[in-house]
Amino acid sequence: MSAQPSTTTSVPRHIAIIMDGNGRWAKERGLPRTEGHRIGAQSVEEIVEACGELGVEFLTLYAFSSENWKRPKREVDTLMKLLEHFLKSKTPKMMKQNVRLQAIGRLHDLPQSCQDRLHKSIEQTSQNTGLTLILALSYGGREEIIDGIKSLVESVEKGHLDSGMINGDVFSKHLYTRYYPDPDLMIRTSGEMRLSNFLLWQLSYAEFYITEVLWPDFRKPQLIEAIRVYAERERRFGGV
């Protein structure tokens, strides 16, 4: 069952972030886009650490969308190498910080070396009990919903599920995120006002926080400000 977002705490249980603006950050400084991605990885490291310190239980990062495969091959190859390096170099720190790594998306689309490194890091951190870091990789919200429908149809065809039993909670069990609560807060950097095919089902009742800050400049102080704004909002989930 997909858990309801929290209502009684000032710190969100689950934060989801669209990390946008690496390319713009680099362009503004006359640097290659790859440098923006490299510095953006430093923001990831700082935000993961900050979330653990603040008591956030789940952090989902939109690391690579299904549409990102359309980018120039050189940039995609660089992103995959950066991902692999990040996982290899930061897994020891995740172990030290008690972070449990997970991933969602069509992971089979990743290069085999990335898949191997990802699975190894997930296995190494599987017993950790602190922050759960969820990387959305080769992820698309529409694709997830389609895959969920296929899973539902298969369950009905095999006789494991009666079609009359299908509701929102049942459907949630067939999504990539079935093991996690829905996000309470969605943060998007760089000022863009769209979801970009990110967690379309799960963000139904999340609070949105949009900031003009580009992702490489989004660090702990900016995260604390987003949480402060979130804490001031009253969440009624359609009630009064």
Report, as residue numbers or ranges, the catalytic residues. Answer: 20, 68
CB atoms within 10 A of CB 201: 17
Residue 10: CB partners within 8 Å, gap ≥ 6?
Answer: 227, 230, 231
**In the chain, which residue ranges form alpha helices assigned H by DSSP?**
22-28, 33-54, 73-96, 112-124, 141-157, 168-172, 220-231
| Burial of 72 from C-beta contacts in 10 A (0-12 / 13-18 / 19+) | exposed
Kindly list the strands in the beta sheet with 58-65, ordered across the sheet, starting from the edge strand earlier in the chain.
100-104, 132-139, 58-65, 14-18, 185-188, 207-210
Query: Contact, 215 vs 28, CB < 8 A?
Result: no
Task: Provide the sign of the torsion angle of the four alpha carbons 97, 100, 101, 105, taken in this order.
Answer: negative
C-alpha closest to that of 39 among 221, 224, 214: 214
Q: Which two tokens stand for residue 173?
A: 């069990």
Residue with tokens 């990110």: 198
CB atoms within 10 A of CB 126: 10
